[in-house]
Amino acid sequence: MLREIKHLVKSPSRIGTIIGMIVIISSQSILVLRSWDQRGVFYASLMTVLLCLVVLLLALYRTYFKKPTEICLSNEQIILNGNIIHSRDIKLIITRGYFKPVIGILPYRRKIVPSGMAFRYSKDEDRGISDLKNWAKMNNVKMVNKSFQTWI
């Protein structure tokens, strides 16, 4: 019988996304400035810049401004960001990285980890991962170390 275990978690760092969006915005901005007389190229580049700007702002918000939340491990469920995830709905728990590991919960019928199900521990990562491994073992959920993708 598992008691309720709680840990503070936060969104994973999105530094790669932030750098990528800055590079795309910079290159497309140059194209916008040089092709203002060619309407098709101008509007396509402008739309790319605006879309990348939205993605950049989302990544910045999630990385730097979103407050830590709580993960609660109980008998047959995980409560993360207010969402209840039953152990029977979890296909795989994935750990990416070693020094600041990011954990992703992959539900059945999904190929990409939903962004609301990716997190890293705010403090005491070793204890948090140990508790998660014990929970996964008790609930027959496979836990692996490998890379994974999330939406923005």
pTM strictly above 0.75 = yes
Looking at the fold, whether 77 and 58 belong to one and the same domain comes out as no
Side chain identity at 117, as an amino acid letter? M
Strand partners, 151: none
Looking at the fold, whether 61 and 72 belong to one and the same domain comes out as no
Determine the 3-state secondary structure of 134 from DSSP.
helix
Looking at the fold, whether 138 and 79 belong to one and the same domain comes out as yes
Query: Could you tell me if residue 88 is inside a domain?
Result: yes
82-137 tens-digit pLDDT: 889 999 999 999 998 888 899 999 999 988 999 889 999 988 888 999 999 999 99
Query: Could you tell me if residue 152 is inside a domain?
Result: no
CA–CA gap between residue 113 and residue 96 (Å, rounded): 12
Question: Which tokens hold the place of 119?
Answer: 């997190």
Write the CATH number for 114: 2.30.29.30
CA–CA gap between residue 24 and residue 48 (Å, rounded): 8
Q: Which of 23, 38, 65 is the last residue of a domain?
A: 65
Q: Which has more pLDDT, 94 or 63?
A: 94
26-60 tens-digit pLDDT: 998 888 888 878 888 888 888 999 999 999 999 99
Range of the domain at 50: 15-65
Query: Could you tell me if residue 46 is inside a domain?
Result: yes
